[in-house]
């Protein structure tokens, strides 16, 4: 046991705890299975170890040792690939699929959280080594708070107004408000749709939001989360009962049509509002205009 033993144990413990803190199973039910959790906790432990030993390496002026962090980067890129492959395979068995954009978002989150663990361990170990354990604890708390802030992205309720709208038929055409969803020919199927169906209108708050919710991946994420939280009235071989989200080309509003098992309007609005704004779906046309403006000056 030397002077680095306790700080290293402290850093690894803090890093692993921060990974556990970030590994929460919510209504989206992922990851639910124990072995999936064990994989991520184990990788978090490795990330914590890598972040922690960087501290003593700096203190000993062993700067070349820091290069092993590049090894960590390639290792955690593999985590992203693993998550992407697993979720893509599973997606074909979902009644309402997540979609590739959502899967990519989840995979990126899993990779980035390991980097946050490295950051937390590094900062807390360094604070312990330079000052004392109390400084280490304070640094750990601050690092966890920063991690928490960085890991929670935007939500749909920040960029759209959500309104419930009863679906209706005009002939064989199904509409949510004035947005055409699909053609359902059979009267029997139409009755089913009117009985179980719910419609929502997502009204973008600005030009950027209009482009973001136009993304097909973002719309699929809404349908998936809604179907996960409220259940879905469909089975394989019933494509007429697939939830859909269509766009009004005039004003960028999106009409969401779902067939949930639990018809709770308030809960559905909450779930839609809590859908994450996918990083790959975010568009900022207004930034382009402002950049052009500043470039012209």
Partner 1 sequence: MMLEKFVLAAITTNPKKIPSGTAVFHCDSKEEMEKVAANLEAILDGIAHALTEELYIIVKH
Contacting positions for partner 1 (CB under 8 A): 171-172, 182-189, 237, 239-240, 242
CB of 189 to partner 1, least distance (A): 7
- Is the separation of the CB atoms in 167 and 194 below 8 Å? yes
The C-alpha atoms of residue 273 and residue 253 are separated, in whole angstroms, by: 15
Q: Which is nearer to partner 1, 23 or 194 (CB)?
A: 194
Q: Which is nearer to partner 1, 89 or 188 (CB)?
A: 188
CB of 182 to partner 1, least distance (A): 8
Collapse the DSSP code of 80 into the 3-class scheme (helix H, G, I; strand E, B; otherwise coil) and give the result.
Answer: helix
- Is the separation of the CB atoms in 29 and 229 below 8 Å? no
Beta bridge partners of 163: 201
CB of 197 to partner 1, least distance (A): 15
Q: Which is nearer to partner 1, 137 or 244 (CB)?
A: 244
The C-alpha atoms of residue 96 and residue 77 are separated, in whole angstroms, by: 28
The C-alpha atoms of residue 176 and residue 48 are separated, in whole angstroms, by: 50
CB of 247 to partner 1, least distance (A): 18
CB of 254 to partner 1, least distance (A): 19
Q: Which is nearer to partner 1, 168 or 189 (CB)?
A: 189
66 Rama class: left (phi>0) / alpha (psi -120 to 50) / beta: alpha
Q: Which is nearer to partner 1, 171 or 293 (CB)?
A: 171
């Amino acid at each position: 046991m030397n002077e680095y033993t306790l700080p290293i144990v402290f850093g690894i413990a803090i890093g692993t705890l921060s990974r556990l803190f970030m590994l929460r199973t919510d209504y989206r039910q992922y990851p639910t299975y124990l072995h999936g959790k064990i994989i991520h906790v184990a990788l978090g432990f490795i990330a914590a170890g890598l972040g922690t030993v960087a501290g003593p390496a700096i203190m000993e002026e062993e700067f070349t040792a820091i290069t092993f962090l590049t090894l960590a980067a390639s290792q955690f890129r593999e985590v992203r690939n693993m998550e992407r492959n697993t979720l893509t395979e599973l997606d074909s068995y979902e009644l309402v699929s997540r979609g590739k954009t959502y899967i990519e978002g989840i995979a990126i989150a899993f990779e980035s959280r390991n980097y946050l663990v490295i950051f937390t361990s590094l900062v807390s170990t360094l604070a312990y080594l330079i000052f004392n354990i109390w400084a280490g604890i304070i640094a750990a708390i601050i690092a966890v708070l920063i991690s928490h802030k960085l890991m929670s992205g935007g939500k749909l309720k920040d960029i759209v107004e959500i309104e419930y709208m009863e679906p209706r038929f005009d002939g064989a055409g199904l509409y949510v408000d004035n947005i055409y969803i699909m053609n359902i020919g059979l009267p029997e199927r139409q009755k089913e749709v009117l009985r179980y169906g719910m419609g929502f209108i997502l009204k973008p708050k600005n030009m950027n939001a209009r482009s973001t919710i136009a993304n097909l991946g973002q719309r699929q994420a809404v349908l998936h989360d809604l179907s996960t939280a409220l259940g879905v009235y469909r089975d394989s071989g019933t494509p007429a009962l697939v939830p859909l989200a269509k766009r009004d080309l005039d004003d960028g509003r999106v009409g969401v049509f779902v067939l949930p098992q639990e018809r709770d309007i308030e809960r559905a609005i909450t779930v839609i509002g809590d859908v994450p704004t996918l990083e790959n779906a975010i568009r900022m046309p207004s930034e382009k205009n402002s950049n052009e403006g500043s470039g012209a000056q």
